[in-house]
Homo-oligomer: A and B are copies of this chain.
Amino acid sequence: MTIRVLIADDHAVVRQGLKMFLSLNSDFEIIGEATNGAEALRLAHQLNPDVVLMDLLMPEMDGITATAAIRRELPDTEVIALTSVLEDKSVTGAIRAGAIGYLLKDTESDELIRAIKAAANGQVQLSPKAAARLMREIRTPESPEALTERETEVLRLLAQGKANKEIAAELVIGEKTVKTHVSNILSKLNVSSRTQAALYAVRIGLVEELGEQ
């Protein structure tokens, strides 16, 4: 019985490479390709694949959102997150969204094949680096407390390099209030300056890494 695989990646070369890898093994059948999260979700509904290889960085709908949707709507389809970069928010985000595996694109073909087979059987498969990252996150007691909605809003502006006064103007509240929020943010994130908070925000992907055009 072959494993029916859906590939979701916006990079043509990556799709081609994955197809190449998987076509060498008759256990797999590539039943579709998507170039963004929305398309992946639609194709998953249509084709009902066993495994989706999901890139996390895609236009239209990001891979994490798509993963969550697929897992919610198609419980029999397993998702493996496949990404080139290892970011804090990616690993935990993908896991939280229901991905059964997390692989880096520098994974060698045999490891990839093992991972997909494991996923098809519902077994968890993480790349060593992703596993290390996860361990670190779980191990570390410095897990930041959850921010409130307003605090997140303030952090987002702060991470754009704005001063308290500017943030106050933008949110139409007093500067003192902003300072209170910033103080609470620093304490919750366990950092000691707005710069560190801004760097944290960038790291977890709160602010987009500078849009195109």
Contacts and interface: CB of A to CB of B under 8 A. Distances in A.
A193 interface: yes
Contacts of A71: none
A14 interface: yes
Interface stretch (A40-48, A60-68, A143-151, A157-165): A157-165
A195 B87 contact: no
A195 B13 contact: no
Interface string A1-32: 00000000011111111111100000000000
A159 B17 contact: no
Contact of A12 (B12, B106, B158, B203): B106
A213 interface: yes
Contacts of A196: 161
Interface string A110-127: 001000000000000000
Nearest to A191: B161
Copies of this protein in the assembly total 2
A194 interface: yes
Taking residues whose C-beta sits less than 8 angstroms from the other chain, chain A's interface range is: 35 or more
Contacts of A132: 212-213
Interface in A79-93: 84-88
Nearest to A212: B129
Nearest to A10: B106
Contact of A11 (B106, B133, B213): B106
Contact of A13 (B18, B163, B199): B18
A136 to B, nearest CB: 8
Given A17-B20, A87-B209, 6 more contacts: A10-B106, A16-B16, A16-B20, A85-B209, A199-B202, A202-B202
